[in-house]
Amino acid sequence: MGSYLKTIEMDQFDSLLFYLAVSAVFSGSALHKLMKNKVKMEHTLVLGLLSLLILELLCCFILSDSLGLTLFSLACIIYYFFIPVKDILPAESKAILITGCDSGLGHALAKHLDELGVLVFAGVLDKKGPGAEELKRICSPQLSLIQLDVTHSGEIKEAYIEVKSLVQDAGLWGIVHNAGFLGYVADGELIPMSVYKQCMDVNFIGAVQVTKMFIPLLRKAKGRLVSISSMAGQTPIPGFAAYGASKAALSMFSAVMRQELFQWGVKVAAIHPSGFRTNILGSQEHWSSQDRKILDNVMPDVKEDYGEDYIATLKDLYPQMFISSSADLTPFLEDVCHALLARNPNYSYTPGSSAYFIPCLFRYFPIWVYDRFAIKAFQSNKNLLPKSLRISQTKNKSA
């Protein structure tokens, strides 16, 4: 009996060695491929690794040695081939339209793509503005400035006619929906309806209108549709009710278009950046006037519940956001270029610090864990509660 148990233990030990050997070979090969191609660990890749780990445990302890090893080895091979390969298409002569190029991410992207040899159509709100003038001065002569307010259907149509006359039968290789509006960062109850409407008009409806107008040119080129969404469009963040809702709508629109345009040979991707230091955060003047505009728009009982002192401190969030945002736009530019020019682009990208971690926390942990984290990390005001909550808290302490 003792020798029989010893034989079983030896067999189990040998089996574990085989699994460890397969895991070691897979890990080394996968790591080499990830580093060689500078692949970011997106949600699908992490979820795949977790699935492999669970599968390994099941195969090792439940299935027979031969069946378990075969199944686990096959899963490792599939995952290895699923890791994207850095295969970039030539940038030269490809025509790409970018909205919102007056400043910020769109402005930087227009410059970057122009340097790569792309025929850039830079959509701007003001062709005579400082951002447009800088693009004209710095970029190559092949960059074209396009007057394009994405909330103005007449300008969208005129831009389409202009672009179509230039690209002709070649079509349009790419559209980058970059134009964006943030408005106010405040409790959802305090944000004026005008801000909700403008966020939806610019961030969502504008992107839909541009897509509907330009999609025939995109289908002709079998090109790329890229939407610049936001981490706030994937993950609920206190203070971003208006902006986050509009970006969530854009993300869903992008996902549905990915399914529908697949048969036309058009590839669709959404970029979900974290905080980058751009003009979307507004100016000091914008921050200073926010509390007065909120007070002018809220009902008296809401003003009473929150208190003017609480509303006045909301403007302090902007300098904090500006300081904590990254000034290095390189991760964003690399991801957008991959979405536009990779032979096999990802459907989703998360450039920037925390743009991957926070959505993972939201997706894979119990919701109460994420909610507590979000309230602590992004709470509108960490030092001051709304007036009614302060009064209630004081009563509870004294009771």
pLDDT digits (tens, 9 = 90+) for 373-399: 888 877 656 667 887 888 787 777 665
Rounded to whole angstroms, the maximal C-alpha distance in the chain is 91
Q: Give me 288's structure tokens.
A: 């200073």
Q: Give me 153's structure tokens.
A: 């259907």
Q: Is 243 a catalytic residue?
A: yes
Q: Which amino acid is at 165?
A: S
Given pLDDT bands bounded at 50, 70 and 90, which one contains residue 128?
A: very high
**What sign does the CA torsion over 156, 158, 160, 163 have?**
negative
Which residue is it, tokens 């009563």?
Answer: 395
Q: How far apart are CA 48 and CA 54, in angstroms?
A: 10
Most confident among 74-83, 127-136, 326-335 (mean pLDDT):
127-136
**CB of 386 within 8 A of CB of 80?**
no
Looking at residue 7, its pLDDT comes to 46
The CATH number, out of the four listed (3.30.1330.10, 2.40.50.140, 3.40.50.720, 3.40.50.300), of the domain defined by the range 95-378: 3.40.50.720
Q: How far apart are CA 358 and CA 374, in angstroms?
A: 9
Q: How far apart are CA 248 and CA 236, in angstroms?
A: 10
Q: How far apart are CA 178 and CA 336, in angstroms?
A: 11
Quote the strand ranges of the chain, DSSP E. Answer: 95-98, 119-124, 144-147, 174-177, 224-228, 267-271, 348-349
Catalytic residue, from 184, 196, 243, 306: name it.
243
Which residue from 205, 303, 236, 126 is spatially nearest to 196, judged by alpha carbons? 205
Global pTM value? 0.79
Looking at residue 41, its pLDDT comes to 61
Taking each helix axis from N to C end, the angle separating 367-378 and 357-364, rounded to the nearest 10 degrees, works out to 150
Looking at residue 8, its pLDDT comes to 40
